Amino acid sequence: MRSHFNKISFAILGIALMFTAACKKNEAPAPEAPNNTSSKLGTDAIGVAGPKAVCYVEVNNNDIRNVGNYTLSTGEQLFDIGIIFAANINYNTTTQKAELYFNPQVTNVLSNASTYIQPLQAKGIKVMLSILGNHQGAGISNFTSQAAAQDFALQLSNAVTTYGLDGIDFDDEYADYGNNGTGQPNDSSFVYLVTALRQLMPTKLISFYFYGPAASRLSYNGVTVGSKVDYSWNAIYGTYSVPNVPGLAKSNLGPAAIDIQSTSSSTATSLATQTVNNGYGIYLCYNLPNTDVHTYLSGFSNALYGKTTVYTGGTTPPPTGVTFYQDSNYGGAVTASIPKGNYTLAQLQAYGFIDNWASSVKMPTGWKVTMYKNDNFGGTSWIRTSNTANFTTLFPNANDVVTSVKIQ
């Protein structure tokens, strides 16, 4: 799929954080799936006949609320499902168990559900959380027992309940099976996992990003993954390939997949036309940016629904905190939004901040940020009262030297 989130691994509070990059995979497409006849869910888009539009958002760098900023020309929401990309499966070497992990950006979205999640749900958009590996040997395909799969399913179900989510999306990437002495993929793991999760969440959504070892392990002891999940979609951006998931009808499958920031408009439109002509129910998008891309989106919305897309930006609330960026001009990895307060390095790390790392900063109007070279507010300091795109322009040079901050 993507190198699907720009992932740069680094240790924060003793835990490896993942910031992944979006580059589509280019493996050969999977074979056509059989034409199933039964559909488990109605699949028309919100308020309009046609396939559902599903969109992954890289929340390390982009705002999930952008999913709600696009409507069709007749007023219906363009996107039916927004997916927070992504939470991780970590491996606890002491307990030898898989653990659900949220990096600071994902934590910020989930902990502030009233700001980021509920406004989308109020528009009729379902909000799901994507789950994938974190290079630690744990993934959806190597649970060694039914009990282990059930334990992780309970963690997922609890997250859905705690944060008011509409479901879980499974993505079998970046597990690095075998690391930390973990096992290789087996035939029972994914079936056990989705079976347990469906029992815990009978009315919530479950989807499968058709990729990785799990894609060839979709049946065990007569139970199919397709009988437990609601949707599955192609994982190779810029291509058309029907996921081979027995048990899912055409209306629950997405053969077209695009990267909004790299798939050409003509390809996106062509894939949408194929989706409609062949009677499939999902159209998958990835990498929605913070900028206005309604012209691009109109290309495929015209093909899917016969309607152009309208940008309703300006409805997203202004930032509620300070964000530091790894690179100048607000590029690279970014911290979660940091509220007013005094922060030592250890306290900043909880928001994704790295020592001697920051190169630019954004802040709300009227706020003041005092940055310090040393921990505990010591050494050279710099006061900023507005967005600063390049710390090398400060005197003395503040690039890659900030360790603690005060935000007022």
For residue 358, being part of any structural domain is answered with yes
- Structural domain tally of the chain? 2
Q: Which pTM does this prediction carry?
A: 0.74
Task: Tell me the β-bridge partners of 56.
Answer: 83, 286
Final residue before a domain boundary, out of 248, 279, 311: 311
Of 289, 311, 333, at which residue does a domain stop? 311
Task: Clarify whether residues 73 and 24 are in a common domain.
Answer: yes
Residue 187 and residue 238 in one domain: yes
pLDDT, position 352: 86
Judge if 229 and 266 occupy the same domain. Answer: yes
Q: How far, rounded to the nearest angstrom, does the alpha carbon of residue 260 sit from its chain's CA centroid? A: 14
Residue 340 lies in a domain: yes
Record the tokens describing residue 163, joined without a space. Answer: 């944060």
Q: Does a structural domain hold residue 5?
A: no
* Residue 268 pLDDT greater than 50, yes or no: yes
Higher pLDDT pick, 104 / 281: 281
Q: Would residue 205 count as lying in a domain? A: yes
| Structural domain includes residue 277 | yes
Record the tokens describing residue 39, joined without a space.
């559909």
Active site residue ranges: 173
Across the range 83-98, mean pLDDT stands at: 97
**Residues 206, 240 contacting (CB under 8 angstroms):** no
Domain match, 88 and 122 both = yes
Return d(Cα 129, Cα 105) in angstroms, integer. 13
The lowest-confidence range among 15-19, 150-154, 175-179, 328-332 is 15-19
In a domain, 28, yes or no: yes
**Are 307 and 373 part of one and the same domain?**
no
Per-residue model confidence as pLDDT tens digits over 114-149: 999 999 999 999 999 999 999 999 999 999 999 999
Mean pLDDT, the chain, rounded, equals 88
Does residue 345 sit in the same domain as residue 302?
no
Mean pLDDT of 75-95: 97
pLDDT of residue 266: 97
pLDDT for 149-198, tens place per residue?
Answer: 999 999 999 999 999 999 999 999 999 999 999 999 999 999 999 999 99
CATH assignment of the domain containing 118: 3.20.20.80
348 and 220 inside one domain = no
Percent of the chain with pLDDT over 70: 88
C-beta separation of 149 from 189 below 8 A: yes
What residue numbers bound the domain in which 99 lies?
A: 10-311
Same domain, 343 and 283: no
303 and 207 share one domain: yes
Residues 375 and 239 in one domain: no
> Which of 264, 286, 311 is at the close of a domain?
311
Query: Which band of pLDDT confidence, cut at 50, 70 and 90, is reported for residue 215?
Result: very high
CA–CA distance, 248 with 173 (Å, rounded to integer): 22
In a domain, 4, yes or no: no
Residues 6+ apart with CB under 8 A from 296: 260, 265, 268
Distances (CA, A) of 66 to 56, 125, 308: 11, 12, 17
**Alpha carbons 257 and 211: distance in angstroms, whole number:** 13
Residue 236 has pLDDT above 70, yes or no: yes
Distance CA 327, CA 404 (A): 18
Residue 3 lies in a domain: no
* Same domain? 268 vs 381: no
- Dig out the tokens for 253 from the structure: 């499958």
**392: domain CATH number?**
2.60.20.10
Whether 272 has a pLDDT exceeding 70, the answer reads: yes
Q: Do 354 and 293 share a domain, yes or no? A: no
User: What mean pLDDT do residues 30-34 have?
Assistant: 35
**What confidence score (pLDDT) does residue 28 get?**
34
